[in-house]
Amino acid sequence: MLLQRFIRRYDLPFTISIVVNDIDPAGLGGERQLRVAREIFAQPNVEPASHTYTHPFDWSKPVDLDHEIDDSILFLNERIASPDKPVKLLLWSGSTNPQEPAVARSDALGLFNINGGDGRFDVETNSYANVAPLATQVGSLTQYYTSNGNDNIYANDWTGPYYGLRNVLQTWEKTESPRRIGALNVYYHIFTGERWSAVKALEEVYDYAIARDIAPVFTTDYVRMVQGFMSAEIVREGEATWRMRNYGLLRTVRFDDDNRFPDLSRSANVLGYWQYQGSLYVFLGEASESVVTLASTAPSEPYVALASHRIFDWQAEGGTTSFRVEGAGRKKVVIGNLPRDTELTVVENAGAERRVQLRTDASGYLAWLSDAGGPVRVSIPTTTAGRSVARSALTDDRVAAGVGR
């Protein structure tokens, strides 16, 4: 049900974790379970993960870590996952309360870990106090949290109502406005496919997400972003200049209550920006260190106004802007400060060159979209004879709908 109706239908990244005992022929599984598990893990938009071997419900009690963690990873990598896409993620089970030895075992195996948190902000839990933090300390180590509750929580430990997951939309809306404070997280169990109302609720949740400008990522990438947030260093070097380093995979920095703009000519490793809800979002490139200098006037150079995926090899010079986009899911990039109301020939290369005609809007923004599954290199002309370059700030509501969410 989940493979056919969701994984293959929605062009989004899925992280699928398996309780090994449910598929192991020596436990509750058999050849059919093994076959379907292999088919799911083989999907290009699926990231494989372990949900332990037997699904312990309380990690504060004695747990066989060798069996639950080591053996589950070994089984999935040897019998289910492909060699080029091994399991690198462990999802804590049950009460999601791992003790320090369990987190240490996960870290020693080079695994990412996540679960717990289960934030809610809706009519029944109508308070910011119910929003989950990004992570928690387990002794000297770190357990990473999911940002939203799951189908089992919304369905009262699977006693109903089984359509309860639709209420996560309230959390998404309340953590988006009046100020964005959390990530979107579609979190459900494989048993959601047992109930028709649960399946319909999940469709409603996914349809809501893809109707908006989101930045879809696999769970391991999300954890790496949180790690970057926790390790980031920001040093003020002047009245309007900051140096940033050790931010890992994190690529967005927010200046609250600030209506200034990045000075692109004086900044380093800054690709663009977005003004939203009274805050300034600054988009960083792939370098390990960045310098952000703010100014009271908008830049005149081409810049990234929105990106659904990480951007690599950004170059904006010689009358051409070029970049590379990678990641699962439909790709969308909006470039600002291009010639206004002008048709431009955009060159795409996703293994073969393709030229498309796209028109900028009246403010000089160009929206590029692609369904290509792999990396795509894009080249856009940024100057046209007889046309001026737009210098306005981002005001188009069709664009300002959800950068980096």
Tens-binned pLDDT, residue by residue, of the chain (405 aa):
999 999 999 999 999 999 999 999 999 999 999 999 999 999 999 999 999 999 999 999 999 999 999 999 999 999 999 999 999 999 999 999 999 999 999 999 999 999 999 999 999 999 999 999 999 999 999 999 999 999 999 999 999 999 999 999 999 999 999 999 999 999 999 999 999 999 999 999 999 999 999 999 999 999 999 999 999 999 999 999 999 999 999 999 999 999 999 999 999 999 999 999 999 999 999 999 999 999 999 999 999 999 999 999 999 988 999 999 998 889 999 999 999 999 999 999 998 999 999 999 999 999 999 998 889 999 999 875 434 333 333 333 333 323 344
Do 289 and 160 have their domain in common? no
Considering the domain boundaries, does residue 135 fall inside one?
yes
Considering the domain boundaries, does residue 393 fall inside one?
no
d(CA 370, CA 140): 43
Number of independent structural domains in the chain: 2
Do 269 and 376 have their domain in common? yes
SS (H, E, C) the chain: CHHHHHHCCCCCCEEEEECHHHCCCCCCCCHHHHHHHHHHHCCCCEEEEECCCCCCCCCCCCCCHHHHHHHHHHHHHHHCCCCCCCCCEEECCCCCCCCHHHHHHHHHCCCEEECCCCCCCCCCCCCHHHCCCCEEEECCEEEECCCCCCHHHHCCCCCCCCCHHHHHHHHHHHCCCCCCCCCCCCCCCHHHHHCHHHHHHHHHHHHHHHCCCCCCCCHHHHHHHHHHHHHCEEEEEECCEEEEECCCCCCEEEECCCCCEECCCCCECEEEEEEECCEEEEEECCCCEEEEEEECCCCCCCEEEEECCCEEEEEEECCEEEEEECCCCCEEEEEECCECCCEEEEEEECCCEEEEEEECCCCCCEEEEECCCCCEEEEEECCCCCCCECCCCCCCCCCCCCCCC
Do 56 and 198 have their domain in common? yes
Do 247 and 178 have their domain in common? no
CATH number for the domain spanning 59: value is 3.20.20.370
Do 210 and 125 have their domain in common? yes
CB atoms within 10 A of CB 156: 11
Do 14 and 136 have their domain in common? yes
Do 163 and 268 have their domain in common? no
Considering the domain boundaries, does residue 400 fall inside one?
no
Beta bridge partners of 369: 332
d(CA 328, CA 45): 6
223, 250, 270 - which closes a domain: 223
d(CA 36, CA 250): 35
Do 58 and 120 have their domain in common? yes
Considering the domain boundaries, does residue 185 fall inside one?
yes
190, 223, 256 - which closes a domain: 223
Supply the range of the domain harboring residue 245: 237-381
Do 306 and 215 have their domain in common? no
Considering the domain boundaries, does residue 386 fall inside one?
no
Considering the domain boundaries, does residue 375 fall inside one?
yes
Do 200 and 305 have their domain in common? no
Considering the domain boundaries, does residue 207 fall inside one?
yes
Considering the domain boundaries, does residue 394 fall inside one?
no
Do 84 and 135 have their domain in common? yes
pLDDT the model gives residue 223: 98
pLDDT the model gives residue 260: 97
CB atoms within 10 A of CB 29: 18
Do 62 and 186 have their domain in common? yes
Letter string b/e over residues 45-82, b meaning 16 or more CB atoms within 10 A of that residue's CB: bbbbbbbbbbebeebeeebebeebbbbbbebbbeebbe
Helix (H, G, I), strand (E, B) or coil at 74: helix
